[in-house]
Structure 1
Amino acid sequence: MSHANPGLKPLLSMVLDEGVFTLRRAHWEDLPAILRLLAADQLGSSRENAEDVGPYLQAFQQINEDPAQLLVVGHLNGTCVATFQLSFIPGLARKGSLRCQIEAVRVAAELRDQGVGAAMMQWAIEEARRRGCTLVQLTSDKSRKDAHRFYERLGFVASHEGMKLAL
């Protein structure tokens, strides 16, 4: 596994009552904590296995080595408490513009409603702008009503109906 460019430089820092929250590029050592965050909700608990990092190592390496992918973690006082992934997708639509897809957004339950998620998404939107994207998009499971309200407060609009086909 490549360990080049661990990305330990903070992308964002903010002071909370509990301490300093920082965003940075994920490093392979963050993987167990990322998996715990992904498995800690009603959907992830049935499809993720935070106890076995093995199946996730190849995917992490592919994400880490692809310049069109950015996996980010949020740390509070040295503990991983948040994560999200950005994918930068070129397309012919919208006059050949680049779009940013936000995936797997998670914030530890004890930090919700403290501005952490909003700061993360504002950083992600600015990163998309910096890279020349003309659109930021995300999907959120229909059952995640709180998440929908959160994204709408940030200016996202439920403009499309998404579909998936499990393979």
Structure 2
Amino acid sequence: MVIRKAVIEDASSIRELIRQLGYEIKASDVEKNITIYNEVKGHVLIAEENSNIIGFVSGAFIPLFHSNELMFRITALCVDQNSRSQGVGKHLINAIEEKCKDNNCFYLEVTSGAHRKEDAHLFYEKLSYKAYEGKRFRKTLEW
């Protein structure tokens, strides 16, 4: 398995992975997101095996305003349904953690939907992630 930086040509494969999670997105929007992440201290990394994309992770560095530290926020992680429980997700997370180390970043944050208790939550806990005791607030803006 190879972990590499995503390129525009990966958009349709990433889209198919996102669809496995139950989300619809146009390939052109995935292309746009790859470009944006590559321009703003973000990362989109691909797990590839035998020239097939079997997973990806995306996220970006966020400077903490109240301190001189960086946090990395994972915005998406998906492993192909036929490649799960084979270490792919762990390799992707390890690659992101290396990016954090290279940038002197000590905090890594991820949000996982409440409905993913049996799979994603256990995955993160096995990798030493702890549930944050705070509450997350979000407001949908309508323009």
TM over 0.5: yes
Distance in 2 of aligned mates of 1:23 and 1:57? 19
| TM-score, reference length from structure 2 | 0.89
SS, match of residue 129 in structure 2: coil
1:158 to 119, 131, 143: 131
Deviation at 1:118, TM superposition (A): 1.2
| TM-score, reference length from structure 1 | 0.77
- Does the 8 Å contact 1:139/1:162 carry over to 2? no
Q: Structure 2 stretches of 5 or more lacking a match?
A: none
Distance in 2 of aligned mates of 1:132 and 1:118? 21
Deviation at 1:73, TM superposition (A): 0.9
1:114 aligns with 2:86: yes
Distance in 2 of aligned mates of 1:135 and 1:29? 31
- Determine what percentage of the aligned residue pairs are the same residue: 27
RMSD over aligned CA atoms reads: 1.5
SS, match of residue 32 in structure 1: helix
2:99 to 111, 127, 150: 127
What is the one-letter code of the residue matched to 2:13?
A: A
Match of 2:52 in 1: 79
Distance in 2 of aligned mates of 1:29 and 1:122? 24
Number of positions where the alignment pairs a residue of Structure 1 with one of Structure 2: 139
Q: Structure 1 stretches of 5 or more lacking a match?
A: 1-20
Deviation at 1:162, TM superposition (A): 1.9
